[in-house]
């Protein structure tokens, strides 16, 4: 009984040991026969294939040892190792020097390992891998340009400079960029100044005396004051001149007070569409001629663009993730800062621009530039000593205050877009029609009241309202 148990345990252990030994796959071999044409031998790079001959051979020769290396394992077995992608010929000779056969050896990139790595790095991508003329050919449709670049970069590791890209990118690859320029400028300025003039017989007839911080400076100003006229020297809108007699002295007082407020609002909203990876340019404005002096003394004209400018390159990275490389600018002519040289007057430009690269998803917005400027100026002047006199010294002082604020922001919003039928779009000119002779001459209308009935403009026209509409709350 004990002997039977020992036999059963030994058999079970032997079976378990045999089960744990890994099975070896059969080696790749090629059979060659004397006098028969041999098929091409496909050898992956850095891998080996065994060639077996039915006839003992005495000599081996390889045409290009840089492509494949050979060694004999026996008088009937040859070991062929692939070194570099390419084609070469293996020649097998018999003992009498006769030719047994020629074997064409094709060394190709190891696409088996490449396919494994490709599946690990880009799972789920339907990429087909083939070999052609010692290179790798990739085909199929990938989901994004980023994945396409990764596949090409990996293929270059296995076949440097021998990768053919036949892949295409699926999904939406056109990007519409919406850029908003918003600028607000506010300015406030206040000024107050005064002047005093004295004249009359008490001061010696035509003798006059004047002082202050503005434009009243002769005895004639006093005479004009009594006539109720503002001196032409003063250009302020808030000037007031009055005078009175105090015995034989004529007194003229000029008070100038000015307060101004201003606000400027600028908004530009250019839209531009481009294919992923391609540059698009947009300019809504014009070109300004600028004279340029040459070395020979002649004058040539160069044109500088101004207006709303937009240059950008979109790249759809993965899905709806978009990389934007853009340059945006809004410029206008500024005559106040121009220069005059000889007979030429060249205006300056007022320009707000930005150049940056951002990354965002479809429909998201990004404030790529912003500016908050607050300029403040306060100036006070007076006549020495006279301006320090209490109460009366106010006639010999002036104060000037100015403040200017500027706010600027640039916002970009990309959208993945697809083309549509042209008739669904409504143009600004679609709803304006030339008037008939009856409308023009009888009713004085400069456009026809008839609304379009088809296309996008017709759809917009059908949404218009006439008469009373909405809600009334009592």
What does the pLDDT read at residue 312? Answer: 92
Would the pLDDT of 397 be above 70? Answer: yes
280-293, strands of its sheet edge to edge:
280-293, 299-318, 321-341, 344-361
What is the DSSP pairing of strand 48-53 with strand 41-44?
A: unpaired
Q: How far apart, in whole angstroms, are the C-alpha atoms of residue 140 and residue 463? A: 47
Residue among 84, 24, 81 nearest 51 (CA):
81
Q: What is the pLDDT of residues 325-344, one digit of tens each?
A: 999 888 888 888 888 877 77
- Name the phi and psi angles at 57, rounded to 5: -110, 160
Does position 227 have pLDDT exceeding 50, yes or no?
Answer: no
Separation between Cα atoms, residue 145 and residue 416, nearest integer Å: 14
As a whole number of angstroms, the distance between CA 416 and CA 399 comes to: 57
- pLDDT given for residue 11 in this prediction: 44
Burial of 276 (0-12, 13-18, 19+ CB in 10 A): buried
pLDDT tens track for 146-172 = 788 888 999 888 888 888 998 888 767
Helix (H) or strand (E) holding 121: helix 111-121
CB count, 10 Å around CB of 245?
10
Please give the Cα distance from 193 to 238 (Å, whole number). Answer: 10
Whether pLDDT at 24 is above 70? no
SS3 257: strand
Q: pLDDT confidence of 451, banded at 50, 70, 90? A: low
- DSSP code of 444? -
Q: Note whether 242 and 222 are within 8 A (CB).
A: no
How many C-beta neighbours within 10 Å does residue 423 have? 11
- pLDDT computed for residue 239 by the predictor: 65
Categorize the per-residue pLDDT at 177 as very low, low, confident or very high, splitting at 50, 70 and 90: very high
pLDDT at residue number 56: 86
Residues 340 and 347: their CA atoms lie apart, in Å, by 9
Among the ranges given (195-204, 231-240, 307-316), the one the predictor scored with the smallest mean pLDDT: 231-240
Q: What is the mean pLDDT of residues 438-463?
A: 66
Q: Which of 101, 122, 119, 103 is nearest to 111 (CA)?
A: 119
Segments in 128-207 forming alpha helices (H) = 145-158
Segment 256-298, tens digit of pLDDT: 777 778 877 777 888 899 988 889 998 888 888 888 888 887 8
Write out the H or E segment, with its range, that includes residue 275: strand 271-275
pLDDT at residue 347 greater than cutoff 60 = yes
- Distance, CA of 314 to CA of 326 (rounded, Å): 8
Total residue length of the chain = 474
pLDDT value of residue 296? 83
Query: Closest Cα partner for 362 from 314, 414, 326?
Result: 414
Query: Which residues sit opposite 341 in a β-bridge?
Result: 344
Q: Classify each residue of 152-172 as buried b or exposed e, where b means 16 or more C-beta atoms within 10 Å of its C-beta.
A: eebbeebbeebbbeebebeee
Percent of the chain with pLDDT over 70: 70
Residue 389 scores a pLDDT above 80 = no
Q: Decide: pTM greater than 0.75.
A: no
CB atoms within 10 A of CB 375: 10
Structural domains in the chain, sorted by start? 41-108 (2.60.40.1080), 111-169 (3.30.70.1770), 187-255 (no CATH), 423-465 (no CATH)
Which H helix or E strand runs over 18?
helix 2-20
């Amino acid at each position: 009984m004990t002997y039977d148990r020992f036999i059963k345990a030994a058999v079970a252990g032997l079976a378990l040991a045999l089960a744990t030994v890994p099975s070896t796959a059969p080696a790749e071999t090629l059979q060659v026969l004397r006098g028969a044409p041999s098929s091409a031998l496909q050898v992956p790079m850095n891998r080996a294939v065994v060639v077996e001959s039915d006839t003992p051979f005495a000599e081996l020769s390889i045409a290009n040892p840089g492509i494949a290396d050979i060694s004999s394992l026996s008088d009937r077995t040859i070991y062929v190792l692939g070194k570099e992608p390419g084609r070469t010929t293996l020649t097998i000779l018999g003992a009498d020097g006769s030719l047994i056969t020629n074997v064409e050896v094709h060394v190709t990139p190891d696409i088996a390992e490449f396919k494994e790595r490709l599946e690990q790095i880009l799972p789920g991508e339907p990429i087909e891998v083939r070999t052609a003329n010692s290179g790798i050919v990739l085909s199929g449709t990938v989901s994004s340009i980023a994945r396409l670049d990764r596949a090409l970069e990996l293929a270059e590791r296995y076949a440097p400079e021998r990768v053919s890209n036949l892949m295409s990118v699926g999904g939406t690859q056109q990007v519409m960029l919406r850029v908003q320029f918003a600028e607000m400028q506010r300015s406030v300025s206040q000024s107050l100044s005064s002047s005093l003039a004295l004249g009359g017989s008490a001061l010696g007839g035509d003798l006059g005396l004047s002082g202050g911080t503005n434009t009243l400076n002769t005895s004639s100003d006093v005479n004009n004051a009594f006539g109720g006229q503002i001196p032409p020297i003063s250009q302020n809108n808030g000037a007031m001149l009055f005078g009175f007699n105090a015995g034989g002295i004529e007194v003229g007082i000029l008070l100038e007070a000015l307060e101004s407020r201003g606000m400027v609002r600028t908004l530009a909203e250019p839209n531009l569409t481009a294919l992923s990876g391609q540059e698009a340019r947009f300019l809504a404005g014009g070109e300004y001629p600028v004279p340029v002096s040459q070395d020979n003394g002649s004058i040539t004209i160069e044109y500088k663009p101004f207006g709303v400018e937009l240059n950008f390159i979109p790249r759809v990275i993965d899905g709806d993730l978009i990389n934007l490389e853009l340059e945006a600018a809004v410029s206008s002519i500024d005559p106040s800062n121009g220069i005059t040289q000889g007979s030429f007057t060249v205006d300056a430009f007022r320009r707000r621009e930005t150049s940056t690269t951002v990354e965002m998803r479809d429909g998201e917005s990004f404030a790529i530039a912003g500016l908050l400027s607050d300029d403040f100026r306060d100036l006070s002047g007076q006549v020495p000593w006279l301006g320090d006199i209490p109460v009366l010294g106010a006639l010999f002082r002036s104060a000037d205050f100015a403040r200017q604020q500027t706010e600027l922001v640039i916002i970009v919003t990309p959208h993945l877009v697809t083309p549509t039928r042209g008739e669904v779009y409504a143009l600004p000119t679609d709803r304006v029609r030339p008037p008939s002779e009856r409308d023009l001459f009888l009713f004085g209308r400069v456009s026809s009241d008839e609304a379009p009935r088809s296309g996008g403009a017709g759809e917009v026209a059908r949404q218009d309202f006439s008469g009373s509409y909405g809600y009334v709350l009592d």
